[in-house]
Amino acid sequence: MPEEKKNDVMEKIVSLCKRRGFVFQGSEIYGGLSGVYDYGPMGVELRNNIKQYFWDTFVINREDVYGLSAAILMPETVWEASGHVGKLGLVDPIVECKICHERVRADQPEAIADHEATHKGKKVEWSEPKVFNLLVETKLGASEDTATRVNLRGEITQGIHVNFKNILDSMHPKIPFGIGQIGKAFRNEITPRDFLFRQREFEQMEVQYYIKPDEEEGLIQFEYWKNLAMEWYLGLGFRKESLRFRQHASDERAHYAKDAWDIEYNTPFAGWKEAWGIHHRGDWDLKRHSEYSKVDLSYYDEESKSRFIPWDIECSGGVDRAFLFVLLEAYTEDKLGDDLRTYLKLSPKIAPVKIAVFPLLKNKEILVEKAREVYKLLKKKFGAVVFDDNGNIGKRYRRQDEIGTPWCVTVDFETVEKDAGVTVRDRDTGEQKRMSIEELVSYVKSQLS
């Protein structure tokens, strides 16, 4: 990201998100809930488009990945098996400030630095790190005595592993194969921060890919999923230099992980930050769930006539982080004389609105009627098309620029009187071209595929 964009871009994104209906603070009229956000009309479309792109690439367009939508509520034993509850070290370390007793994640230097800054130069001493279980707990049942303690899942991963046998028995997959899922996860983050980056309720998208327990196969598959995840991320419209791979140091990895890499985005608020994780989890999860559930989660391989617990390559990303990073990457300001033009350079594939249709003048019935006709036709073809006759053309362009609409189509007198097509204005160059409706349709189709 160019230096001049870095300084206040996050603040501008937060404000644009509210102003244009992308993201609102959760339960805002009641004072807001920290680390929780609601997605507005533009946000929900952008988010759905990101998720659909994930689902197409990782599930629908493949023969070896099965889709799943597991429940959010899971019994506590699942989390004991996975190591999230107990003493296995899959919990986050926290430290307490000795001045004000506020708790902060010990493994987040920026959270520590921010907190120390609030004490304005006073020397801050911290307690020894303690482990903190991030799972959100609740109870199910009519009375206190009979209630069962359950957790809102802290990651969608375990919903996949606990359904491993169901997928084997219903789909009879041949190894290697994967299970893909998109869904909400909940973490009682002590210091939710940086807008959508660290939330308490968020969404993940991932594939757990099961392979033969073989070192070489592990290396090949790991490389494959790492590269696919990067290719997918770049496909969201990122420049190559905005993303990088980073391998976890051995003391940073969960103790069961054979290898772990992140895809990181160069954020304007804190430099390189995790967007996606690719982890070689070995047989850890299936083995632990076999032990705890007492259900055999091994796989019988017809080819080698042998039975084994498969190894698992995990490919896991955050929907909300992808959403935030896409906005940060797309946010652009162009100086036009004294004016500043702000627009989101979103890939047309994920833009919440593809085309906006305007009548040149709102009080000329003949133009409005024709524009409505064009709008209906385009809406039938592309769905995400809006009609706008509010304010002058300049204002309409500004509105569409800020939500990243790639094309604005204007119906004018020449359209009506000379059957001369419409003018199509390109969001990024501002250039206007006259095209027939047929030309426009095939042009937009080519850009969306």
**Long-range contacts of 234-241, Cβ-Cβ distance < 8 Å, separation of 24 or more:** 235/53, 235/57, 235/347, 235/349, 236/50, 236/53, 236/322, 236/326, 236/347, 236/350, 237/326, 237/329, 237/330, 237/345, 237/346, 237/347, 237/350, 238/265, 238/325, 238/326, 238/329, 239/329, 241/266
Residue nearer to ligand ATP on the CB measure, 267 or 400: 267
> How many Å from the N-terminal Cα to the C-terminal Cα in the chain?
27
CB 312 within 8 A of CB 208: yes
Least Cβ distance, residue 342 to ligand ATP (angstroms)? 26
Least Cβ distance, residue 314 to ligand ATP (angstroms)? 8
Q: Where are the beta strands (DSSP E) in 42-194?
A: 65-68, 73-75, 92-96, 103-105, 130-132, 136-140, 148-152, 177-186
Residue nearest to ligand ATP (CB): 318
Residue nearer to ligand ATP on the CB measure, 268 or 421: 268
Distance CA 88, CA 43 (A): 38
Interface mask (CB under 6 A) for ligand ATP, residues 232-271, using x and -?
----------------------------------------
Question: Is 277 an interacting residue with respect to ligand ATP (CB under 6 A)?
Answer: yes
Of the CA atoms within 13 Å of residue 395, those in its CB half-sphere come to: 6
Binding-site size for ligand ATP (CB under 6 A) equals 16
CB 367 within 8 A of CB 423: no
Residue nearer to ligand ATP on the CB measure, 34 or 148: 34
Residue nearer to ligand ATP on the CB measure, 195 or 407: 195
Question: Is 320 an interacting residue with respect to ligand ATP (CB under 6 A)?
Answer: yes
Distance CA 273, CA 321 (A): 10
Least Cβ distance, residue 401 to ligand ATP (angstroms)? 28
Strand 148-152 and strand 73-75: pairing?
antiparallel
Question: Is 321 an interacting residue with respect to ligand ATP (CB under 6 A)?
Answer: yes
Residue nearer to ligand ATP on the CB measure, 58 or 343: 58
Question: Is 427 an interacting residue with respect to ligand ATP (CB under 6 A)?
Answer: no
Interface mask (CB under 6 A) for ligand ATP, residues 122-161, using x and -?
---------------------------------x------
Interface mask (CB under 6 A) for ligand ATP, residues 173-212, using x and -?
--------------x-x--------xx--x-x--------
Distance CA 182, CA 31 (A): 30
Residues in a beta bridge with 332: 343
Distance CA 330, CA 345 (A): 4
DSSP state of 97: B
Residue nearer to ligand ATP on the CB measure, 282 or 406: 282
Distance CA 198, CA 190 (A): 10
Least Cβ distance, residue 253 to ligand ATP (angstroms)? 10
Reference 270, options 4, 92, 9; nearest CA is 9
Interface mask (CB under 6 A) for ligand ATP, residues 383-412, using x and -?
------------------------------
Which residue in 237, 318, 352, 421 binds ligand ATP (CB under 6 A)?
318
Question: Is 82 an interacting residue with respect to ligand ATP (CB under 6 A)?
Answer: no
Q: Interface residues with ligand ATP (CB under 6 A)?
A: 155, 187, 189, 198-199, 202, 204, 274-277, 316-318, 320-321
